[in-house]
Structure 1
Amino acid sequence: MASQVYRPDGNRHHVVIVGAGFGGVNAAKELADADVDITLINNTNHHLFPPLLYQVATGLMSSGEITGDVRQMFADQQNIRVVRGNVESADVEAKTVTSVEGGKESTFAYDSLIVAAGAGQSYFGNDHFAEFAPGLKTLDHAFEIRARLIAAFERAELAETPEERERELTFVIVGAGPTGVELAGQVAEMAHRAFTSGRYSFSTEQSKIYLLDGAPQVLPPFGKRLGKKAQRELEKAGVTVILNAMVTNVDAESVTYKDMKTEQENTIDTPTKIWSAGVAASPLGKQVADQLGVEAERSGKVPVNADLTVGDDPNVFIIGDMMSRDKLPGVAQVAIQSGSYVGKTIKEQVEHDVAPEQRDPFSYFDKGSMAIINRFNAVVKMGKVEITGFIGWLMWLGVHLSFLTGRRNRLVAANEWTINAFSRTRHNLAVTEGQLDGPQTKDEK
């Protein structure tokens, strides 16, 4: 039996937004005082700040500090309805999207559709790696990684031989982009600083942390100078960086990689692996693109027009991590700016009769890139300006605090970072039996 098609009462323009990430949320906020009705569909009840997931995974922050309840975020906005659901299909001819939640199917008619469903982890065709090397795209992933890290140290406590302990204290992070670099730096801090004050009967400084990447440098988007700086700082912190390393196999006990220069294969024995090497856009984008005669890229990203619409349909927009336009990076600022742009575009169309051909093109303003390496140390690139060390770290703190949802989250995060800067204590290391024993959680789509 087909589900009933939902549409708000009245004749106002109906905007359906899929996804409550940076793109979807900023589009909805831009439409707060517009003469439209909005339905925001998200597959969780929270808005997530993905750049800080690695801090949840390594015990620096709690999940509540990097999330915001979607309904509370829009409690004062009168023209929006928030719906929990996983959007599985869109019909651009019928102008509907269909979501599923708790086995119940719901269909929503739209006048304008904004697809902002984000991206999940990509294993470049080796999806079976996910069982042994979780990615870091959702809260479930962060919880699982934290559980795996803590479990490794607990197993090392019970190791019967030095060889067994060495294996348990070996950690591999695949992917030397910002997430991989930040994860490697924090795992090193856990082992070489946070856990050295009598927490275990052995020296956690024995730990070996490896960062692998197929590229010839760390943090490729940051340029060679900052990449080399980041690599040197990681190595000083105890991380072994292996570049030109193409991972060929991941199983329960090890990681195998091929040296791209020598063609030699090498294996690192470890039960604890983390994957941060690639992203794949939500499959909803490809589904929409196929219907509009547009070929999606291998990563699932969809080529969009200057106004971020798809193909010849002036009312279907794809934004954020799901869009391909001018080689824009998959960062929060792209999602924020594209969401705000589409919100303004729809508002002008509805309230000022601005035709599609009259729309100003989307223009991205690059506010720079930054990555924290460890305590008091970060790299920042803003155009031609490059900043490293303590000043970069302070800039990183300020920018990330400003993006967190809600005053409480900003205050708590600032407090946690201050404590960590001057103390070895981490307050968010609790794990449950379910997290220790549970399988890799699938990426939320």
Structure 2
Amino acid sequence: MKEILDAILAGDTPQEAYEALPLPESYRAVTVHKDEETMFDGLESREKDPRQSLHVEDVALPELGPGEALIAVMASAINYNTVWTSIFEPVSTFRFLERYGRTSPLTKRHDLPYHVVGSDLAGVVLRTGPGVNAWKPGAEVVAHCLSVELESADGHSDTMLDPEQRIWGFETNFGGLAHIALVKSNQLMPKPAHLTWEEAASPGLVNSTAYRQLVSRNGAGMKQGDNVLIWGASGGLGSYATQFALNGGATPICVVSSEDKAQICRDMGAELVIDRKAEDFRFWKDERTQDPKEWNRFGKLIRELTGGEDVDIVFEHPGRETFGASVYVTRKGGTIVTCASTSGFVHEYDNRYLWMNLKRIVGSHFANYRESWEANRLIAQGKIHPTLSRSYTMDEVGQAAYDVHRNLHQGKVGVLCLAPEEGLGVRNHELRAKHINEINRFRSL
């Protein structure tokens, strides 16, 4: 690995030199273990500790198949799917690996007693398998996390509809929280040249997810002038939704849980911000009963901020805690677009406010290849910016996942893999200087 890292740090190593580099038989990776998948049984989600289940260890280098690439990972990031993997919720990810392993002799590689996790990366192509022509060893890349087989007609108008669609590093093995990752070559995109490795690694999953959910016609199809209610607007997903709303001529109404988070939204350019803790919104009277009076109070506050208008789009991802309020406050004919459900997967709402007011609920999951490419292009152009607040070393990944699980973070949390320190990998210093304040916005927290 030292030879590989030295070649990357040199910055001008030619393709043929990368092709000549020997690959190690094993590499360092962050894993969960199949024989520990019941370790948190009987505990509430909040009590489950990723620091106990995430391991950093040497694992065998997987076989490289057709259409695939091995990537030297300089940096990765923590997403909520890593938290779910680490606490074995809503199901153990080993069920995903077993199912994938039955697909073909080649996918059997993924069904192992350990799972290398992580759905983001920035790094360098080391090897490509047969049939890969677009990428060569030495290319600096980021990866989106959509893995599909594309053997069914269903996936060819929208790859997210492929019956064999999976999220790499969550529903497949050999993810990005490692020194080397195995990806399908059509997951690869050019690394934004003005960003460091850790900055470039951080947008992938959440940026693409927010793009499809809010901007794409497969999601809410946001247009200029729309009022967009964004839950968790300073968080890993919401911070990109806030940027897309502002960049696309919409008006974000940012919902946050502290004044510090409210200030971050204002710094991004949002003017309408609701601190739900300061307002003491309690949408549930108890675990089983919601409070429509609180929905009404929430809607009145929104109209005070917007000059009497309701929201056209609700960007939903908390799920159970907020979904009833989201349906209620959406304008007649408006859209609630939902993913993730980090506060609970079982949603409850009063259907009268949906059907009688012709509202729509749209389910959105990650992004297809084209949407991911477009989202990354906006990053590369400096129109949308990474929201990295902090980076951890790979040995600290348990703490990083714990912080995300307990909502102790802002924006995105990065993880240095092969990169020995932060700040490396910038190629376009002029573009970086132009946007340095936006790039560093979340680092002050």
TM-score by length of 1: 0.27
TM-score using structure 2 length: 0.27
Which structure carries more strand by proportion? 1
